[in-house]
Every structure is written in structure tokens, then in C-alpha cells.
Amino acid sequence: MGYLYQGKCLDTVQQLHENVAAECPVVSGNYSLQCTPSAVQIDIVATDLSTAATFASVLTPSLIPCEVTLVNQTGFMWELALILTAGFAVRATIKAFQ
């Protein structure tokens, strides 16, 4: 089982937290943000740019279960159709030159 995030099925909670933390903006309003992922949560440290005061908070993203095969099934079908089409095109080309 994996965890769904932005249309991707990620294998572990750690990977989910790393992807969410990667979306953390460097500056938000008057604050500088630093997001650090772990296997349990994402630690957020906000630093006020004018006073240099720091504030800590914790983010725990929702764990939405997903199956890798269900998320990637459509893409796999398109790849299979492309391979079959290419095979028939090569076969037709060979027959045309015989």
C-alpha cells in the first residue's frame, strides 16, 4: 500500500513527508520557512524576517491510501497501446517492401 500525494502513489510515509516538505515555500509573507521531514511528521520553523523571532510548528499530512497499480493503470494502458501500434506499423512496413 502507498500514500497518495498530488496524483502520485508514494511507497512510504517518509516519502510522503519528503514530497510535502519539498513544496514548502522559502519565504511566506514576512516569514522565512524551513520544513524538515521525518518519518512521523514535518517540522516547520518560521523566522520573522523583521525581528528574527522563531516559531516552531508541526505538520502531519493526511495519509490517503492508494495502490500503485490503480494510479498507474491508465498510463500503462497508453504505453501498451503505443507499443502495439508501433509493432503493427513495423510489420506493415516490412510487408509493404516485400
Answer yes or no: is pLDDT of 70 > 60. Answer: no
Radius of gyration of the chain (CA): 23
d(CA 5, CA 11): 11
- Cell 515555500 belongs to 25
pTM of the model: 0.62
CB 9 within 8 A of CB 67: yes
Query: What average pLDDT is seen over the chain?
Result: 87
pLDDT band at 90 (very low <50, low <70, confident <90, very high): very high
